[in-house]
Amino acid sequence: MKKIDIMSLMHEEIAGLLPKMPKYRTDQIFEWLHRRNATSFGEMENLPRTLRSELREMFFIPKISVVEKLISKNDKTEKFLTKISNDVFVESVLMRYKHGNSVCISTQAGCKMGCRFCASAESGFQRNLTAGEYLAQVYNAGEDVKNIVLMGCGEPLDNLNATLRFLELISHPKGKNISQRNITVSTCGLVPQIYELAERTLQITLAISLHAPTDETREMLMPIAKTYPLAELMQACRHYAEKTGRRLTFEYALAHGLNDSVQHAKLLAKLLKGILCHVNLIPINKARSEFSPTPRREVEKFAAILQEKNTPVTIRRSLGGDINAACGQLRARRILD
């Protein structure tokens, strides 16, 4: 019998698979997994030995081991290269803010999307992660995590079922009970999945990796833009905002001389007009040598134009630059070296 990832199961699913077990035992198991971060059934000391033996026969707990840990000297950001379930390497990043710690986790081992400015796809796509493997990354980051970002290696909406299950589990009142309002899910723009996500009317923040205000430039940066042009993507985004009442975030990585001109800023403001949204400007990461980050002065000028056009905007604070904290870099180094 193939064992089941117990961390990916909802409370009632565990009870359903063990129908003779008293209900309060399910509560105890769920607490051990999601509040006390048990890594083995042997740790569950308040369960009978016979039940622990039955759990071992039917289920497994995803194992996570830290292969490498880097700590930024500049801002104490921590980056983890971890091995999950003994077959894949994934990355996660713990970022420290005054308002609380955030953890950025991976949703796939590698990525299929092939965005030119991102290192995640360099080492190839291995497989989707399970919801339990999402959770293992969060729990590995420590007890004081207040916010979660699904923006590490992989495309969360390309692994939609696991992403939805993770959101259920991490916000479960008998588990960590982290509010969905404290969770951001990123996507490069998978239009059908955005519509599907809208129907769930979740309280998450949906972040769209946009990076260009025209199809021509966006297609050069992101292969997915050839499948879903901006007109389709913007229609889906409008629907999402109207359906959920939640403000969208548009991620815009500025590459010097490519997408950072005054004209680009004006086109971006026009593209987003009427959408409940916020723009997050990011000087592009140096992981890919073909692009150079836009100088700070020009980033501020770009932001000022958006503000003049009544488009809410912030400039993302860069964290972990001295430890290659951008997604995919550490994994690629490990696999390709």
For residue 220, what are its two tokens? 């050069």
Within 8 A by CB and 6+ apart from 317, the residues are none
Supply φ then ψ for residue 109, to 5 degrees: -90, 100
- Please tell me which residue in 91, 122, 133, 155 is annotated as part of the active site: 91
For residue 106, what are its two tokens? 């991976």
Quick check: 80 and 71 in contact, CB under 8 A? no
Any catalytic annotation for residue 155?
no
Supply φ then ψ for residue 139, to 5 degrees: -65, -35
- Please tell me which residue in 104, 118, 188, 327 is annotated as part of the active site: 327
CA–CA separation, 137 vs 141, rounded Å?
Answer: 6
Contacts 24+ apart (CB under 8 A), 89-92: 89/331, 89/334, 89/335, 90/129, 90/133, 90/137, 90/152, 90/153, 90/331, 91/152, 91/153, 91/327, 91/328, 91/330, 91/331, 92/137, 92/140, 92/141, 92/152
Any catalytic annotation for residue 118?
no
Active centre residues (catalytic): 91, 327
